[in-house]
Amino acid sequence: MASTVNSPSTPITLPKISSIQTPFLPKTSQLSIFKKKKPFNFVSKKVVSCKASNEQSSSPNRRDVLLGLGGLYGATNLVSDPFALAAPVAAPDLSLCEKSTVTSKSAGTIKVACCPPKSTNIIDFKPPKFSKIRYRPAAHIVDSEYLDKFKEAMEKMKALPEDDPRNFMQQANVHCAYCNGGYDNGDQNQELQIHFSWLFYPFHRWYLYFYERILGKMIDDPNFAMPFWNWDSPRGMVIPEMYVDPNSPLYDEKRNENHQPPKMLDLDYAGTEEELSKRDLIKSNLSVMYRQMVSNKTASLFHGQPYRTGDKPSPGMGAIENNPHTAVHRWVGDKKQPYSEDMGNFYSAGRDPLFYAHHSNVDRMWNIWKSLPGKKPGKKRTDFADTDWLDSSFLFYDENANLNRVKVRDALDTRNLGYDYQRVDIPWLKNKPTPRRPGKGRGQGHGRGQAVAAETKAASVIRNAFPIVLDKVVRIEVPRPKKSRTKHEKEDEEEVLVLQNIQVDRDIAVKFDVYINDEDDETPTEPEDSEFAGSFTNIPHNHHKPGVKLDTNLTLPLSDLLEDLDVEGDDNIEVTLVPKEGKGLVSIGNIKIDYIQD
């Protein structure tokens, strides 16, 4: 029986890989070298706003203004610590919400009204009182009684008046406004963007919490719990049956028609259909889950990079947001729609009821992640302790149509909010990627493209070549500042690969993979290989200023990977970048190795 989880307080013990026998597991650059820094030092610590820009604002932001005041702050607090002034992202002013811009190269530009009803009466959220914990069930195993209640709740939500903030479209527009340029982040030149940063997890937890409370209100059942799409387990790797009935309020016609059941989900999806057997696809999916959940041990690797008031948006995604979160969105969205609606674009994702089941499972991953062993023996993983994260706030309407101001600090434990998740198997804990054996192919029935392998083989190793445009496979030699680190040093700091200033048009879908010391040129590297370090992905979205590119970073863990490949003593590593979607549309400003601790 695979390990299970029911709450973040339940520790999980990882199995020893050498003892596992499962049908899903095989038997067995130019670089700027920095001195040791404080954690998260590769992200500037300015001030927060909700609109991204590559331009430097000429107007002072909140931090600049406060720093200019001098007096008490200048004389005391800021002398010993120049970043002592708190700058958590503040809940937006709904009266200043703007229409969201949606663009694509083929369909042009439209303006979408996503702003919620305005209210001057804001309630500061108080943890709820409840008599028992609500358990969110796995969508593929609910019974008929539950399904009837769920459909009734959805029907009533959709029947609410259009201007009721609890109405289904109003709730869908919450995601549009927060994720597609509706709000500023403390500065009119910076937009608020809750993706690509440490706000991703807490924002979506709060979003689903109030959505669930509204559903319960619709059927007078305060204990109603919404389902989760259990896509991290083979039995749940298809769209749940409850969502595919055209006569159900859970149905959405704007989904990829080629991905209806029994088509199995691809958690490494890159916009094209791959010819993989069911067994190989399951193994690939479980390996993706192991890497993203187990290997990313620190808060910044899991949640994403710090983002404060006045900062440019999108400093860098966390592991699960990057993948499989993005892959599921892209796989479900309808590529025939002008903007890949519904799930394939931030502005429209909330219009598909399946979105909430998807994000419920994403939220479940946060619980599981905190149950896994930490970097140090006997220690579990922990969230950020930074008050700029803990005190970041959002606004949501509750089940009584009251506007609530909520903070990140109140969303750290689902049980304090009155809910948890049904126990289900977690098979990916047994699917640790394994090193490839150079020169040995996998046979004819496996692989995602011999053309990629051929292009990788032809690529020569380069140095001093930044910025890089990913119009082909690129190999870069990257020096390592530290090597042959002791066990204590590895427990204290995670060695990471940082791809800086990744630039791409926001309104296009892209994916590129990152391999480390990939010496087998005859067959393509897959997620189940240790050499596969991770991927970068993007869901189409927009900035309130036309033409402003996404400018972000990607941070990937290396400590376990280098140990698995037995190259911890090497002076350099060879990084291979493989464009899978959006070839020639992505540039990278620099690649370096750093060391982080949370």
The pLDDT score that the predictor gives to residue 63 is 43
Lowest average pLDDT, out of 23-37, 342-356, 367-381, goes to: 23-37
The pLDDT score that the predictor gives to residue 458 is 55
Please check whether residues 506 and 417 belong to one and the same domain.
no
The pLDDT score that the predictor gives to residue 84 is 46
Q: Is residue 15 pLDDT above 70, yes or no? A: no
Cα 555 to Cα 486: distance, rounded to the nearest angstrom: 22
Q: Is 228 part of a structural domain of the chain?
A: yes
Please check whether residues 420 and 478 belong to one and the same domain.
no
Residue 346 annotated in active site: yes
Please check whether residues 400 and 545 belong to one and the same domain.
no
Tokens 């863990």 — which residue?
Answer: 557
Residue 358 annotated in active site: no
Query: Which tokens in the block code for residue 233?
Result: 């387990």
Tokens 């088509």 — which residue?
Answer: 263
Q: Which letter, b or e, does each residue of 528-545 get, where b requires 16 or more Cβ atoms within 10 Å of its Cβ?
A: bbbbbbbbbbbbbbbbbe
Q: Is 478 part of a structural domain of the chain?
A: yes
Binding residues for Cu cation: 175, 195, 204, 325, 329, 359
Q: Is 457 part of a structural domain of the chain?
A: no
Structural domain count, the chain:
2
Query: Which tokens in the block code for residue 512?
Result: 């590129």
Q: Is 83 part of a structural domain of the chain?
A: no
Q: Is residue 533 pLDDT above 70, yes or no? A: yes
CA torsion angle for 570, 572, 574, 575 (degrees, to 10)? Answer: 120
Please check whether residues 249 and 167 belong to one and the same domain.
yes
- Cβ atoms of 380 and 371 within 8 Å: the answer is yes
Please check whether residues 401 and 527 belong to one and the same domain.
no
Catalytic residue among 346, 355, 394, 512: 346
Residue 195 annotated in active site: yes
Q: Are strands 474-479 and 468-469 parallel, antiparallel or unpaired?
A: unpaired
Please check whether residues 394 and 517 belong to one and the same domain.
no
Please check whether residues 224 and 332 belong to one and the same domain.
yes
Residue 224 annotated in active site: no
Catalytic residue among 325, 541, 543, 544: 325
Please check whether residues 530 and 385 belong to one and the same domain.
no
Cα 558 to Cα 177: distance, rounded to the nearest angstrom: 36
Query: Where is the domain boundary, 379, 411, 430?
Result: 430
Please check whether residues 162 and 282 belong to one and the same domain.
yes
Lowest average pLDDT, out of 29-43, 269-283, 480-494, goes to: 29-43
Q: Which residues contact 380 (CB under 8 A, 6 or more apart)?
A: 11, 370, 371, 372, 373, 374
Q: Is 45 part of a structural domain of the chain?
A: no
Q: Is residue 257 pLDDT above 70, yes or no? A: yes
Is 62 or 10 the better-scoring residue by pLDDT? 10
Residue 204 annotated in active site: yes
Nearest partner of 60 among 52, 72, 68, judged by Cα? 68
CATH of the domain at 139: 1.10.1280.10
- Please state the pTM of the whole predicted model: 0.85
Residue 140 annotated in active site: no
Q: Is 591 part of a structural domain of the chain?
A: yes
Report the SS3 class of residue 49: coil
Question: Of how many residues is the chain composed?
Answer: 598
Please check whether residues 121 and 259 belong to one and the same domain.
yes
Nearest partner of 271 among 502, 582, 594, judged by Cα? 582
Q: Is residue 445 pLDDT above 70, yes or no? A: no
Q: Which residues contact 224 (CB under 8 A, 6 or more apart)?
A: 134, 149, 150, 153, 212, 215, 216
Lowest average pLDDT, out of 26-30, 387-391, 431-435, 502-506, goes to: 26-30
CATH of the domain at 487: 2.60.310
- Cβ atoms of 384 and 191 within 8 Å: the answer is no
Q: Kindly report, residue by residue over 377-434, the tens digit of the pLDDT.
A: 888 899 999 999 999 999 999 999 999 999 999 999 999 999 999 999 999 999 999 9
The pLDDT-based confidence of 455 (bands split at 50, 70, 90) is low
Cα 586 to Cα 510: distance, rounded to the nearest angstrom: 8
Lowest average pLDDT, out of 245-259, 529-543, 581-595, goes to: 529-543
Strands in 403-407's sheet, in edge-to-edge order, are: 122-124, 403-407, 393-397
Cα 64 to Cα 190: distance, rounded to the nearest angstrom: 14
Cα 384 to Cα 300: distance, rounded to the nearest angstrom: 8
Please check whether residues 243 and 193 belong to one and the same domain.
yes
Terminal-to-terminal C-alpha distance of the chain: 33
Q: Is 328 part of a structural domain of the chain?
A: yes
Query: For 415, which DSSP code?
Result: G
Please check whether residues 330 and 479 belong to one and the same domain.
no
What phi and psi values does residue 196 have, to the nearest 5 degrees?
65, 30
What share of the chain in percent tops pLDDT 90? 72
Q: Kindly report, residue by residue over 75-130, the tens digit of the pLDDT.
A: 333 233 434 467 999 999 999 999 998 988 888 889 999 999 999 999 999 988 99
The pLDDT score that the predictor gives to residue 227 is 98
Q: Does an H or E element contain 447, and which? A: none
Cα 578 to Cα 241: distance, rounded to the nearest angstrom: 35
Q: Is residue 575 pLDDT above 50, yes or no? A: yes
- Cβ atoms of 411 and 205 within 8 Å: the answer is yes
Binding residues: 175, 195, 204, 325, 329, 359
Cα 565 to Cα 560: distance, rounded to the nearest angstrom: 9
Q: Is 24 part of a structural domain of the chain?
A: no
Lowest average pLDDT, out of 143-147, 283-287, 434-438, goes to: 434-438
Catalytic residue among 40, 150, 168, 195: 195
Tokens 């919620």 — which residue?
Answer: 116
Note down the domain range covering 310. 94-430
